[in-house]
Amino acid sequence: MANRWLVDLYRAQDGDMVDEICWRFYEKGQQPLAVERVYEANPGLARLGPVLSAGTLVNLPELPRPEATPIIRIWG
Protein backbone atom coordinates (compact mmCIF):
# COMPACT_ATOMS: atom_id res chain seq x y z
CA MET A 1 0.00 0.00 0.00
CA ALA A 2 2.78 2.45 0.84
CA ASN A 3 4.34 2.07 -2.61
CA ARG A 4 1.37 3.67 -4.33
CA TRP A 5 2.33 6.94 -2.60
CA LEU A 6 5.97 6.70 -3.66
CA VAL A 7 7.16 9.67 -5.67
CA ASP A 8 10.76 9.81 -4.56
CA LEU A 9 13.32 7.73 -2.75
CA TYR A 10 15.80 9.50 -0.50
CA ARG A 11 19.09 7.96 0.64
CA ALA A 12 19.91 9.40 4.05
CA GLN A 13 23.26 10.88 4.87
CA ASP A 14 24.73 10.17 8.30
CA GLY A 15 22.88 12.29 10.85
CA ASP A 16 19.77 13.05 8.78
CA MET A 17 16.48 13.25 10.65
CA VAL A 18 13.05 12.57 9.15
CA ASP A 19 11.64 15.98 10.09
CA GLU A 20 14.63 17.72 8.50
CA ILE A 21 14.26 15.65 5.31
CA CYS A 22 10.56 16.61 5.16
CA TRP A 23 11.41 20.27 5.69
CA ARG A 24 13.83 20.19 2.74
CA PHE A 25 11.71 18.05 0.38
CA TYR A 26 8.12 19.26 0.85
CA GLU A 27 6.59 22.68 0.23
CA LYS A 28 5.64 24.83 3.21
CA GLY A 29 1.92 24.04 2.96
CA GLN A 30 2.61 20.28 2.83
CA GLN A 31 4.80 20.12 5.93
CA PRO A 32 2.23 19.92 8.77
CA LEU A 33 1.51 16.20 8.20
CA ALA A 34 4.62 15.29 6.22
CA VAL A 35 6.50 13.52 9.02
CA GLU A 36 3.50 11.36 9.91
CA ARG A 37 2.91 10.45 6.25
CA VAL A 38 6.57 9.58 5.72
CA TYR A 39 6.49 7.24 8.73
CA GLU A 40 3.27 5.65 7.38
CA ALA A 41 4.99 5.07 4.01
CA ASN A 42 8.06 3.55 5.71
CA PRO A 43 7.12 0.77 8.13
CA GLY A 44 9.91 0.24 10.65
CA LEU A 45 11.57 3.61 10.05
CA ALA A 46 10.56 4.93 13.49
CA ARG A 47 12.32 1.99 15.16
CA LEU A 48 15.64 3.24 13.73
CA GLY A 49 15.51 6.22 16.08
CA PRO A 50 15.46 9.97 15.45
CA VAL A 51 18.86 10.14 13.71
CA LEU A 52 19.24 8.05 10.55
CA SER A 53 22.37 6.23 9.49
CA ALA A 54 23.96 6.91 6.13
CA GLY A 55 22.37 4.86 3.37
CA THR A 56 18.95 4.47 5.00
CA LEU A 57 16.35 4.57 2.22
CA VAL A 58 13.29 6.72 2.88
CA ASN A 59 10.20 6.68 0.66
CA LEU A 60 8.87 10.22 0.30
CA PRO A 61 5.15 9.92 -0.48
CA GLU A 62 3.20 12.34 -2.61
CA LEU A 63 1.27 14.78 -0.45
CA PRO A 64 -1.66 17.00 -1.42
CA ARG A 65 -0.70 20.37 -2.80
CA PRO A 66 -1.65 23.32 -0.55
CA GLU A 67 -4.50 25.47 -1.72
CA ALA A 68 -3.68 29.05 -2.64
CA THR A 69 -4.45 31.53 0.09
CA PRO A 70 -6.41 34.52 -1.19
CA ILE A 71 -4.82 37.93 -0.74
CA ILE A 72 -6.96 40.36 1.20
CA ARG A 73 -6.10 44.02 0.75
CA ILE A 74 -7.03 46.21 3.67
CA TRP A 75 -5.76 49.49 2.25
CA GLY A 76 -5.92 50.45 -1.40
Locate the domains of the chain by residue range: 2-61
Architecture of domain 2-61 in this structure: Roll (3.10)
Compute CA distances 56 → 13, 24, 41, 42, 68, whole Å: 8, 17, 14, 11, 34
At residue 7 the predicted structure's pLDDT band, cuts being 50, 70 and 90, is low
Q: What is the reported pTM? A: 0.75
pLDDT in tens, 20-76: 999 999 988 888 889 999 999 999 999 999 999 999 999 999 998 777 667 788 886
